[in-house]
Structure 1
Amino acid sequence: MRALLVTAAAGALAVAGLTAIPNASAADNPFERGPAPSAASIAAVRGPFATSQATVSSRSADGFGGGTIYFPTSTSSGTFGAVAIAPGFTASRSSMAWLGPRLASQGFVVFNIDTITRSDQPASRGRQLLAALDFLVQRSTVRDRVDPDRLAVIGHSMGGGGALEAAQARPTLQAAIPMTPWNLTRNWSGLEVPTLIIGAENDSIASVRTHSKPFFGSFPSDLDKAYLELNGASHFAPNISNTTIASFSISWLKRFVDDDLRYEQFLCPPPQPDRQISEYRDSCPHSA
């Protein structure tokens, strides 16, 4: 299992301008993309890569409802890891559109999808996330930019429950980030994919007491995992541009999709609660 090694790292993300500890093994990691990070760079609205986008119509899609692909325009760095994003119950991809270009500009191909119907349940949304990744790798116009071995899923609400379903169904995924996830299944003890759960303290739809925390508590003890709870936030916090969500999502994807050790410092040791974070748990240090 991929280990999340611990550095003597930065704590709260609010420490702007903190320079990352260079990765001594950078030359040995062919997946690193972009310059050495800092707290300011992961909090920025746009990263170092210029991006473009392409639309996939529902008629072209197979097993999901179409969507928008955001991708780095330059191919000089080689291929990129990719992530599919699913919206929540009754929502369209517009509800998560803020996150697509933000992640793509950090060096990922991002597929922000619509579901087949807006009432699709988590299990269906999980299958649709996987279908979208398959489309991205096999049929999309940017397939030559995607590394098929470095894929991840993100979802909000029932889409977050779908991200858990996708990760459980396909353990070869490199990362999963369920955001204020909703799912009737509480036990995820079979999960093998490094997973960051983002919960919201004041969520009245998928309360952290009945959803995010039990999900996290059921994860295997040796799984690379983290639980981030947004201070004072509602269920719909992931639908609005949010620096804390973006910063931790970027760091998690960089660490586990790109195997980039330079981003460990933003995950471990756990940041202290502050105005943005009411609780944070992480399994670091991890076993090798």
Structure 2
Amino acid sequence: MASTRYASDRGLTSRMLVTMFLLGLVYVVFVTAFFVIAPKFGVIALVIALAFLFAQYFFSDKLTMFAMHGREVSPEEAPELHGVIDRICAMSDAPKPRVAVADTDVPNAFATGRNQKKAVVCVTTGLLRRLDPVELEGVLAHEMAHVAHKDVAVMTIASFLGICAGLITRFGLEWGLWGGFNRRDNDQNTGMILLAVVAVSAVAYAISFLLTRALSRYRELSADRAAALLTGRPSALASALTKVSGEIARIPTNDLRQAQAFNAFFFTPAFGKGFTISHLFSTHPPLDKRLAQLSKISDQLSRGV
């Protein structure tokens, strides 16, 4: 974790290490099996995946800002927003990130950038309209905790295996559906080889997906905890969570669908009304679990623990 006044989280650090270790094991098995089955196709897929990893790691801030239609704002353009960021930087002894606003009614915020020097904290106009300054401070402290924990860099690296396996699975299925499963070349059953490639890739993707989602859910709890302890106002963060979650349910479905692709970055996921299967594989823990943690922190602070 970076040298800031954000509370350290050994649980997050240990989970990051365990997740990366397990993903490394899966990656070694995946690459070994894949190159035994289809070495030529493996080289092409690996090169493509490495290109994606490079772009996502080094240009994550630009790509996310472009996709979310976010734009950097100066202190003159958004004095109150900059003022809140400045207070958090003073409390946390962290360098100030770039500040941006995305023009959308979906109330949310996100942080991106591979390190503190490249960090961007972006809030939506919908969030600015709905939260009071104290609630906004809690949300922004949460997002800046992600930057201090180096979450973006870790999650980008952790997702590499999933990207690689996902690409191979997709391309393999598309090729197979266009007749690849029935091909035979030079007395070799190309279709069976392709089917084996898709199967191995799908298993690797499923394992990496579950591991990274589990880590993502914990990092959200860790950011909530760090923000609550830094500001000393867990109730303000709880209020913001409750308000934002309730407001998101009222957003038009089309707007939600556009936002859901960025759930991993958001302060709270863009889910519609009711419970769906997507909640089971969410990037964020359930709202009641986040509120319970904040309530516990509030009790501890009131007792001076």
TM-score by shorter chain over 0.5: no
Smaller-chain TM-score bracket: under 0.3
Give TM-score, length-normalised by structure 1.
Answer: 0.25
Q: Which has the higher helix share?
A: 2
What is the TM-score of this pair, normalised by structure 2?
Answer: 0.24
